[in-house]
Structure formats: C-alpha cells, structure tokens
Amino acid sequence: MKTPPAWIWQQADWPRFRWDAARLAPPLARARLAQGKVLGAARLLDANLTVEAVAAILVEDGLTTSAIEGERLEPEAVRSSVARHLGLPTAGLPAPPRAVDGLIEVLLDATRRHDAPLTLKRLLGWQAALFPTGRSGLHAIRVGKLRGDEPMQVVSGGVGKERVHFAAPPRAGLQAEVERFLAWFAAPPAGLDGLLRAGLAHLWFVTLHPFEDGNGRLARAITDMALSQDEGQPMRLFSLSAQILREREGYYDILERTQRGGLEVSGWLAWFLAQVESSANAAEQTVANTLGKARFWLKHQATALNPRQRKALNRLLDAGPDGFEGGINTRKYMSLTKTSRATAYRELADLVEKGCLRPTGKGGRSSGYEVVW
C-alpha cells in the first residue's frame, strides 16, 4: 500500500489550495467590517496624528513579530528606530542596533512600497537586513541566500523523543518553488479576495521555509504587504503580528495541523480571518488613544511642565487608558525619569494640581495616578 503524503507540499496537486467559500463567508464579512471601521476611524486623524498612530502600530509590530519567534527586543530601541525612519523626535532614545533597524526597514519597505514587485532579489535583501552580522544568536547562518542542503525541520523533545512538527520541501527545486510563489503573488487568480490572498500567501511562504532563519518574520512582512495592497494604503493601521503573539499557541497549532492536512485549507483561512478581525478591533483603540493624546496636549498646551513630567505623561498617554497597569506612582516615576524620590513625589503632586493626573484611589500608601483624559 502506498504511504499517504505526510506534508501538504507532498500532495500531488500542490499548491492548488481549496476552501469552502460558504464556510468562510461569515468570518470574511466580520473581518471586512472590522477593517473598514479602523480605516474609517483613521480618517479622523490629520497627517501628524496619522504618523503617530502608524508609529505606535509599527513599534508593536516590530516587538511582536520578533517575540513570536522567542526574540525579545528592547522597546526603547524599537521606538528609536521607528522614530528615526518616520522623522519623529528621538531625544532621549538610544541608537538602535543594526538588527532592529533592519527589521523596521523590512516592515516599512513591505508597506510603503507595497506596489513594487516582490522579487527573489527583494526577498533576499529582506532576509539579509534581519541578520546584518551574518549570525542568528550564536550561530552563523546563510544570509541573503536560500537555505543550504541540510533538511529544514521544526523539532521538539529530547534525544530519542524527538517530535517533528514540520518539515519543509527539500533544497533541490526550492528556487523554482519560490519563483512559483512570487509569480502567484504578483498575479493571483482573478476574483480572489484580498484577505484570503494574504492568508494563502502566509501559509504558502512558511511552508516553503526558504531561509535558514527569519522565515516567520518574512512571512508576516509579506502578509502585511498583501494587506497594504488590499487596502491601497502605504501603512499598517493594525498589527497582525501582535494578534498572532496573543494567540501564539493557536498559531503554531493551526499551522501544524494544516501542514499535515491536504490542500483544503478552510480551517487555516477561517483562523486567519478571525485574527484580522481581532487585530483591527484592537487598532481602533490605538487610533482612539492617538486622538485622545492630541486632545490632551491641546488642552495643556499652555501648562508649564518640565521635560521629566512631559516624558511621564507621554508614556502614560501612549499606553492608553488601560495600558499602564496601576497607573504611575512615585517608584515608577523615579525609574522612568531617573530622579530622586523627593523630586518624583513633588512633580507628581504638581501634575495632580495642574489637572493632568488624578489619584486612582487604589493601593493605599502606594496609590498610583492616572491621566485625566
């Protein structure tokens, strides 16, 4: 008896994906509604506020697309790189490492130049930008080149108890497979919905796994590019990577199940559309926070504040009404502004007196303060 294919790319009719349009109609409609709402909310922003909102999303995207792979970037370094690339103030921010700058450059290139062809040369450049030192952690890797002849597998478990979660297509024929993907991406079937195209592109690219490292980050950059093409926008107003990080376990689970299944990929696409819906809903709050921040500073444009107070207020405003757990207290203010306890106490009291902050009413002696939006 012939052994059935173990992986999706081993199917005889690979890569002819199939799906149940009727099953996907409801999640597609919900994703489109959420997408429309966040795009509509963004129209309330003027040019400067739009840049601020995009910066907040881009910082989140950079941090979370790396965190999905287990890499924790320094938030201040990511903020610094984003600010430099978007022309925002960088005072007090550290110079970002080359790898962080490379990641932000890839994310921006995918969206700002979403109408430029996605070629193999461009993909190789993206992967090289992620690893400017030619190393991933302690290991030297092939940079700006397709992976070598070693089998590409995702394995867990100790010696003798290994479990293979995924095996990519062999190196032989890989370039032809990548070229076929790029040709489809450039000219998808007529009538294919843009959100479904983004989901299929993500699945197809991670299945090929063409590089020694960076495949997940590049798959999400390609997905962002497809979403920007769908919206006709050179910027991302919601972070799909942030949503995938929130559902990281489910992400890897649905990918593994899909990789082991046939070419009927309705389950994957339904999951993907649900994440688009959730990430767009979350972005509505980001846009609302940006508007709230603008109104706050308009209200306090004549309020006398020192640089430490402005820094603390901006951090609270960037976090949003519920984003700075417990508000800010003397200890947090000291840590953020590098000042003494006495100064922190005095400056917080001054912010309360000027109507910028109010006590949260929680925590007793260590009670925090929240922004008066």
Residue 175 has pLDDT above 70, yes or no: yes
% of the chain at pLDDT higher than 90: 71
Residue 276 has pLDDT above 50, yes or no: yes
**CA separation for the pair 231, 337 (Å, rounded):** 40
Residues of the chain with CATH 1.10.3290.10: 8-289
pLDDT band for 115, please (50, 70, 90 cuts): very high
Query: How confident is the model at residue 326, as a pLDDT?
Result: 74
Domain spanning 303-371 has what CATH number? Answer: 1.10.10.10
User: Across residues 130-147, what is the average pLDDT?
Assistant: 94
Residues of the chain with CATH 1.10.10.10: 303-371
Query: How confident is the model at residue 1, as a pLDDT?
Result: 47
**CA separation for the pair 50, 314 (Å, rounded):** 17
| Whether the bond into 4 is cis, omega within 30 of 0 | no
pLDDT in tens, 162-173: 788 889 999 999
pLDDT in tens, 177-199: 999 999 999 999 999 999 999 99
**CA separation for the pair 316, 295 (Å, rounded):** 14
Give the residue ranges of DSSP H helices in 190-247: 194-208, 215-231, 240-246
16-48 in b/e burial notation, b at 16+ Cβ within 10 A?
A: ebebeeeebeebbebbbebbeebbebbeebeee
**CA separation for the pair 39, 276 (Å, rounded):** 13
**CA separation for the pair 238, 279 (Å, rounded):** 6
CATH 1.10.287.130 holds for 8-289: no
Which of 146 and 156 is assigned the larger pLDDT?
146
User: Across residues 29-33, what is the average pLDDT?
Assistant: 97
pLDDT band for 91, please (50, 70, 90 cuts): confident
pTM metric for this prediction: 0.83
Query: How confident is the model at residue 131, as a pLDDT?
Result: 96
| Cβ–Cβ < 8 Å for 105, 131 | no
Q: Closest by alpha carbon to 13, among 266, 270, 264, 272? A: 264
Query: How confident is the model at residue 236, as a pLDDT?
Result: 87
